[in-house]
Amino acid sequence: AQSVAQPEDQVNVAEGNPLTVKCTYSVSGNPYLFWYVQYPNRGLQFLLKYITGDNLVKGSYGFEAEFNKSQTSFHLKKPSALVSDSALYFCAVRDSGGYQKVTFGTGTKLQVIP
Amino acid sequence: DAGVIQSPRHEVTEMGQEVTLRCKPISGHNSLFWYRQTMMRGLELLIYFNNNVPIDDSGMPEDRFSAKMPNASFSTLKIQPSEPRDSAVYFCASSSQNGPFFFGPGTRLLVL
């Protein structure tokens, strides 16, 4: 069975400071990893993905994520937070083999303080 | 591409009534997923289809829920009879093989 953990329900960061939203995963095969963002009253929007290759993945809106196989982590990062980054962030994992089932984490609310 | 299209965007109904939610996935995507989101339970996978075939419906809450995908461009999620605890936002998402999901805008359902 595959699973995703987002240990923080909420992350607060000051505008202009770097931000990190944590994610760890468990999957039997090679992982496909994703980050999504959800703004209020909107659907989830794709931010970035890791399939293979470089451990540092760059995505939309200046976000990036670092894949760490030994720690089974895929933390989302941004060098300088904007107030407009305030939203709900979801990490997701898909097993590279078998059916295309994706498991989402519980979400982390990011609050960027002006 | 218009993205994933869902209808209706909002639905208010009374307990006991039948509710049908509709989804048109992105053209060329072969996987389709129905999710439900509530404050209490977060994002829950209800069912997913691969090449129009239901693969995993273990997340469907009970027999009142059913989903169909008669062709590659259309899917429905039906609740009959509806109950107040079904109130939630229902999302449809589609993806290509190993690709990211693309979510629709959701249907906000309120059962009175």
Contact between chains at B48 and A92 (C-beta distance less than 8 A): no
Per DSSP, the three-state class of A31 is: strand
Residue B30 per-residue DSSP state: -
pLDDT for position B83: 96
B75-95 exposure pattern, b = at least 16 Cβ within 10 A, e = fewer:
bebebeebeeebbbbbbbbbb
* C-alpha–C-alpha distance, residues B76 and B83, integer Å: 18
In chain A, the largest separation of any two C-alpha atoms, in whole Å, equals 45
Residues of chain B with C-beta less than 8 angstroms from the C-beta of A106:
42-43
| Residue A99 contacts B, CB cutoff 8 Å | yes
pLDDT at position B1: 63
Per-residue pLDDT for chain A (114 aa), expressed as one digit of tens each? Answer: 789 999 999 999 999 999 999 999 998 888 899 999 999 888 899 999 998 888 999 999 999 999 999 999 999 999 999 999 999 999 999 877 666 678 899 999 999 999
Number of other residues whose CB lies within 10 A of the CB of residue A84: 10
Backbone angles phi, psi at A6, to 5 degrees: -115, 100
| Model pLDDT, residue A13 | 97
Q: How many CB pairs under 8 A join A and B?
A: 54
pLDDT score at B61:
86
Dig out the tokens for A43 from the structure: 């659907």
Q: Looking at the partner chain, which of A32, A36, A43 has a beta carbon nearest the beta carbon of B105?
A: A43
On chain A, the residues whose CB falls within 8 A of the CB of B98 are 32, 51, 94, 96, 100
Out of A36, A46, A99, whose CB is closest to B56? A99
What's the confidence (pLDDT) of residue B76? 98
Instruction: State which amino acid sits at residue A40.
Output: P
Tens-digit pLDDT string for chain B (112 aa):
679 999 999 999 999 999 999 999 999 999 999 999 998 888 899 999 999 999 989 889 889 999 999 999 999 999 999 999 999 999 999 998 877 889 999 999 999 9
User: Looking at chain B from residue 33 to 72, which residues have their Cβ under 8 Å from any Cβ of chain A?
Assistant: 33, 42-43, 45, 48, 50, 55-56
Long-range contacts (CB closer than 8 Å, 24 or more residues apart) made by A80-84: A80/A16, A80/A17, A80/A18, A81/A13, A81/A14, A81/A15, A81/A16, A81/A17, A81/A18, A81/A19, A81/A110, A81/A112, A82/A15, A82/A112, A83/A15, A83/A112, A83/A113, A83/A114, A84/A112
